[in-house]
Structure 1
Amino acid sequence: MVKIALIGAAGQIGTPLGLLCKASDLFDEISLYDLVHVPGIATDLMHIDTRAKVNGYLAEDSGLKKALTAADVVVVTAGIARKPGMTRDDAHLVKSNSLTLLKTNASIIRDIFTEIAATCPTATCCVVTNPVNSTLPIAAETLKKANVFEATRLFGVTTLDVVRASTFAAHALGNGASPRDFKVPVIGGHSGATILPLYSQAEPSVNLSEEALAGVINRVQFGGDEIVKSKQGAGSATTCMAYAGFRFVKAILEAKNGQSVIEEAYVYLPGISGGNEIATKLGVDFFAVKIELGKAGALKALPIGNISDNETRLLGVAIDDLKSNIATGLAFMST
């Protein structure tokens, strides 16, 4: 019996993610929660010929608690989306309805994880809500305050950066290779310059000129801007993020079933085997690296390994930005 709770399920990421989960036939129960529309979305999904029972809950009548009860996996996509001019970490503090992206989504994450701590504290939790660099520390601090924090069960989903790293490399090479032919580790954070694709470790090798490779790296870091601009203020990365989120959830389930799985994720390093050494070396506690997944969540954080001189320079930039993002999330919780 496997239950997944999708929080923010009526949003532009949550809705396609719900479809992917229902179509996969990997779940026995799918709980949808949002402030609007989810009872109808649940009814709609129930017409698909897979076994999962789908329920939709609104805020009234303790809907969030009902959605989370007995959940094995929780995916949080709730929050406002980026608009033109915003970065994922809202560095320019562009306002939306007089509130910044961070301020709004930070409050949402805090409130959701307060309920997770009370209702399903042993669930594996995946945070998609931006800015992940700051919202994951907020989730961790919320769970810590409730004395139920376990770093091995809390992940910031950075899979879209990994997907883009392979996709954009294939585009640049233009030799007909499938993006799925490439494996490119992506470390760091989940916004702008904090995202660091390690093309020096790509399998197979990505043979591009220095200039072309720099362009690909920049596109991985800021590829979300392409979508924000092309949607002309109507949204940000949604279907591709839903795909990436589902890929990570599928990896978690495969690991729970005993398969050997390695995926990148943004985590609290000191709480994971092998992570403390990485955190000490980098000077940051939250960071995305390759994670070996197991039945209980994160088994081990894998070393970054050898990287190029240029990647070393970019890593320094990423760490400086991440320190600020993490401090912002922690400051929110302290106040």
Structure 2
Amino acid sequence: MFRSRNIFSNFSSVLRSFKYSNYVPKSAGRRHFRSFKCRKRIKVTIIGSGGRFGQTAALLLKQSPRVDILAMYDSSDINCGTALDLAHVDTKCRVMAYCGEDQFDDAMKGADIILLCAGAEEKAGESQDEFFHNNAAMGMKVVKSYAKNSPDAMLVVATQPTDVLMPMMSELLNQNTAHDRNDDVLWQVDKFNPRKVFGMTAHHVIKANTHVGEVACIDPSEIIVPVIGGNSTETIVPLLSQAKPCSCIELNEEERRNITYRIKHAEEWVRSLRKHKGSDFLSCALALVRFTISLIKGIHGEEAVIECAFVKTEKIPGLSFFALPLLFGPEGVQQVFDMPKMSEYEQRLFQEAYFELRKSILKGEGIVSTTKDTPLCPSFCRMVDEPPKAKC
């Protein structure tokens, strides 16, 4: 007769003799598993994922284990095919596609981080006013949906011109309530947190790291060069004197000037070599993704997460926005560091950037009425009535 009890008892003795602790570390127990399950799930929304900049950023984010949901929005229906193609990448990140104006709010809902990559590229012979006005419409559209659907999310503005667009968007959100020309409420924010809105300048940092590494014959990934100021050629201030590690980097005055020039004009060179048919979207996308990962680390409470970004600050008298090194935390900017020490040459660059940056900030803030519950100017009302396309 078949005796199942004896078989199970023998099998149990085999299990008891198997020393599980010899093969699995103690850290792989229940406590480790529970801490992983309690990690906050992160949803990242890319506005303008149909362009080259947005597509590259989406591909890099899809490969990150820190991103759980990647929402891709673009006004073009082609975005659905792009999202489906990206969904075939074998990582745990879930890809969601949103197309058309009627799905814009759905893409923003529930987002932890919103990346604004949409907007027109600067064309040859185009004035700065024309360039800004083309992209200001998209900024207005994002502000309206952000205030309504995801006011607690981190908002990263990667659309140019950041020096003007960031102050405009922050001032719009700071109004708490905005009306159109018909006195209808466009949006209403209970409490705006400026520590969650960033203008991206991280791409200047990686370019500075690269150029310094080439001259100093050091791996660029081991170098950190802080870049302060703004996001235009006139307002970028690379602090080569503060490059880390200091003991390995020795540059003479001529090398510092040449590297600074290459950093400030890097985008112009790329655009000219591409016959004005594209900008430096590859390096910018990588910088944006690294910056996003740093934000996620801050949300998860990791310590010593530092990046440079263009934010609202009172550190620089006379300027309400400035790019400085930041410490990230669960609520965005946890600390804005003081102005680093500068050499005489860097001080001259700062003085030149100061006046240009001040004009850009005043231009962005001046477009928006500073009085609460005051109707917006007709140009912004027209932007709401005629929303632009999000494709880059």
Is the partner of 1:30 in helix, strand or coil?
strand
The separation in 1 between residues aligned to 2:79 and 2:231, in whole angstroms, is 28
**Corresponding residue for residue 12 of structure 2:** none
Q: 1:262 aligns with which of 283, 299, 306?
A: 306
Q: TM-score, normalised by structure 1?
A: 0.90
Partners of 1:127 and 1:179 in 2: CA distance: 26
Could you list the per-position Cα deviations for residues 248-305 of structure 1 after superposition, in whole angstroms to 9, with x for gaps in the alignment?
A: 0000011111212011110011xxxxxx3x133xx20100000010011100100113
Deviation at 1:83, TM superposition (A): 3.1
Aligned to 1:26, which of 66, 73, 78? 66
CA apart distance, 1:331:
2.7
The answer to which of 26-35 and 117-126 deviates more is 26-35
Residue by residue over 1:43-91, the C-alpha shift from the partner in whole angstroms, topping out at 9 and shown as x without a partner, is 111111111221111124x2110100100110001101123456xxx54
Matches within 5 A, 1:235-254: 235-254=278-297
Given that 1:156 and 1:267 are in contact with CA atoms closer than 8 Å, whether structure 2 keeps it comes out as: yes
Q: Provide the residue aligned with 1:115 in structure 2.
A: 145
1:102-156: CA deviation from partner (whole Å, max 9, x where unpaired):
0110111011111111110000110000001011112102211233421110000
Match of 1:12 among 25, 30, 52: 52
**Structure 1 ranges of 4+ moved more than 4 A:** none
- TM-score (norm. length: structure 2): 0.77
**Which residue of the partner structure matches residue 81 of structure 1?**
121
Tell me what 2:326 maps to. 291
SS in 1 for 2:52: coil
Matched, 1:222 2:265: yes
**What amino acid does structure 1 have at the position aligned with 2:366?**
A
SS in 2 for 1:193: coil
Q: Which of 266, 271, 279 is 2:316 aligned to?
A: 279
- Offset at 1:28? 1.7
Aligned residue runs from structure 1 range 1-335, under 5 A: 1-36=41-76, 37-60=78-101, 62-84=102-124, 91=128, 100-146=130-176, 147=189, 148-173=191-216, 175=217, 177-205=218-246, 206-260=249-303, 261-269=305-313, 276=314, 278-280=315-317, 283-334=318-369, 335=377
**8 Å contact 1:160–1:245 — kept in the other structure?**
yes
Partner of residue 273, structure 1: none
Contact 1:34 1:58 in 2 (8 A): yes
Is the deviation greater in 202-211 or in 186-195? 202-211
Q: Structure 1: which amino acid aligns with 2:115? A: V
CA distance in 2, matches of 1:239, 1:42: 19
Instruction: Determine the structure 2 residue equivalent to 1:97.
Output: none
User: Which one-letter code corresponds to 2:362 in the other structure?
Assistant: A
1:218-240 Cα shifts (integer Å, max 9, x gaps)? 11111111111111021111111
1: CA distance between counterparts of 2:233 and 2:99?
34
Query: Which one scores higher on RCO, CA 8 angstroms, separation ≥ 6?
Result: 2
Rounded Cα–Cα distance in structure 2 between residues aligned with 1:136 and 1:333 = 12
Aligned 8 A contact 2:312 2:322 in 1: yes
Does the CA contact (< 8 Å) of 1:292 and 1:298 recur in 2?
Answer: yes
Q: Describe the SS at the equivalent of 1:192.
A: coil
Alignment check: 8 A CA contact 1:188 1:288 kept: yes
- Please give the alpha-carbon distance, in whole angstroms, between the structure 1 residues aligned to 2:146 and 2:306: 26
Deviation at 1:179, TM superposition (A): 1.0
Q: How many positions carry a matched residue from both structures?
A: 313
Distance in 1 between residues matched to 2:65 and 2:245, nearest whole Å: 32
Distance 1:138 1:293 in 2: 23
> Cα RMSD between the aligned structures?
1.4
Contiguous gaps of at least 5 residues in structure 1: 94-99, 270-275
Q: Is the 8 A contact 2:201 2:230 kept in 1?
A: yes
Paired letter, 1:114: K
Percent identity (aligned): 30
Query: Per the alignment, in what secondary structure is the counterpart of residue 115 of structure 2?
Result: strand
Following TM superposition, by how much is the alpha carbon of 1:246 offset from its aligned partner in structure 2, in angstroms? 0.1
Q: Tell me the amino acid that sits aligned with residue 200 of structure 1.
A: S
- Letter paired with 2:65: D
Residue 204 of structure 1 deviates from its aligned partner by 2.4
Q: Distance in 2 between matches of 1:332 and 1:21?
A: 34
* 117-126 vs 301-310, which moves further: 301-310
Q: Which amino acid aligns with 1:150?
A: N
Provide the C-alpha distance between the structure 2 equivalents of 1:117 and 1:59, rounded to a whole number of angstroms: 20
